[in-house]
Amino acid sequence: MKYKGPMLVVKDIEQSKAFYTKILQVRVISDLGDNATLTGGLSLQTEESWLEFTNCQKDFFSYGGNVAEFYFEEPDFDAFIARIEHEDIEFLGEVATMPWGQKVIRFYDPDKHIIEVGEDLAVMVKRLHNEGLTIDELVKKTYMKKGIIERILK
């Protein structure tokens, strides 16, 4: 068996494709109308077709359940924030810096699925090192093994 990635049920697939391609800059690699696959393994399925395939009723869905999130990493986090800050997005708080030093932001997609975008971890390690943290301090702060940090910094 091979895991292929998550599939999100969406109310308006065109709106969702537009959101993911514009905001997260993923590409549609397969579009079958009621189903689309995006780069990174994320798929979208229309609510209507999902109900038809599963014989469930429309009241089966509970959008905005806040029980999972979809995680992306961005190498130029600050530029990403500048690009999306004026978009019509419902943010879940402000940009935060996690205890291990990674900058992150969370927001909803059009169907209230939680999206988290974090600073690329290799970029984070380099940034923290440039700010003066030694390799040993990076090991302690980031919870990464010393060999990983040394490879990132080469």
pLDDT at 8: 95
pLDDT at 62: 84
Write down the pTM of the prediction. 0.91
Mean pLDDT, consecutive 10-residue segments, the chain of 154 residues? 93 97 97 96 95 88 87 97 96 97 98 97 98 98 98 97
pLDDT at 136: 98
pLDDT at 31: 97
pLDDT at 67: 83
C-alpha gyration radius of the chain: 18
pLDDT at 63: 87
* Domain edges within the chain: 7-119
Superfamily classification of domain 7-119:
2,3-Dihydroxybiphenyl 1,2-Dioxygenase, domain 1 (3.10.180.10)
